[in-house]
Amino acid sequence: MENNINKIILEVRAGAGGDEAALFASDLVRMYQKHALKKGWKFSVIDANQHDLGGYKTFIGKIEGENSYNSLKQESGVHRVQRIPATEKSGRVHTSTATVAILPEVEAKEVQINPSDIEVTFSRAGGPGGQNVNKVETAVRITHKPTGIVVGSRAERSQHGNRETAMNILRAKLYEMQQREEIQKLGTSRKEQVGTGDRSEKIRTYNFPQDRITDHRFGVKVHNVEEVLNGNLDALLKKINKQQ
């Protein structure tokens, strides 16, 4: 099935590090957005919770394009940045983290969801900075009661559109959970689990003082951090693919 997945859900969340973690999360979102543009893929925002300084506490988007899932599935995990934040007056290097999830968008037949298992609520879709985009309750939030997963969408213009998008995200998350459970049942070795969307461990460090990015799973290193964060992700991804 993986070879046919051309639609993915991108989820980026600020981790440890306060303001700097939110700014790093927005750097990662911009990196994937620019990478998608270079590839000719479509990039769209589903939902975002912006930080006061312009970073993201959470960001959920969608990427559509040929081979997009296979290209980016190794991005799932904890990304770490080491740099001097713009707000740091004494020049100390800070370490912050952000979590990335790449989820394949799956068809309804792939994941069965019982209507009685979900709770749907509606609200007005507010824009960045809190301004009211819509006076109608078009934003949708869905809670999956058996797992406690909560998803939402507010980018679409209609309640129906947002509900459909939120259900797509829920299916993607449930599919990922099923895949992880199957791997655990099979007792697959840790090395073979790389790339299954395990988001609990650090996968990569972006070290600004040394201008180096290290991918800890594959022992891959590349230089020119700014260039990679500017969307030139292929330099890193090609090296990772050789190690798989």
Q: Break the chain into its structural domains and give their ranges.
A: 2-106+194-243, 110-186
Amino acid at 230: N
**Residue 190 confidence (pLDDT):** 43
Tokens 């650090």 belong to residue: 202
**Residue 186 confidence (pLDDT):** 64
* CA atoms of 227 and 205, how far apart (whole Å): 15
**Residue 176 confidence (pLDDT):** 84
**At the topology level of CATH, where does 110-186 sit?**
Double Stranded RNA Binding Domain (3.30.160)
118 closest CA partner among 66, 166, 179, 62: 166
157 is written with which tokens? 């213009």
- 149-153 and 56-64 as β-strands: parallel, antiparallel, unpaired? unpaired
Chain mean position to CA 62: 9
DSSP 232: -
**Residue 181 confidence (pLDDT):** 77
85 is written with which tokens? 């934040």
**Residue 88 confidence (pLDDT):** 75
Let me know the angle formed at the C-alpha of 66 by 78 and 56, rounded to the nearest 5 degrees: 35
**Residue 244 confidence (pLDDT):** 63
15 is written with which tokens? 């981790």
Residues of the chain with pLDDT below 50 are: 1, 128-134, 189-198
pTM: 0.80
CATH of domain 2-106+194-243: 3.30.70.1660
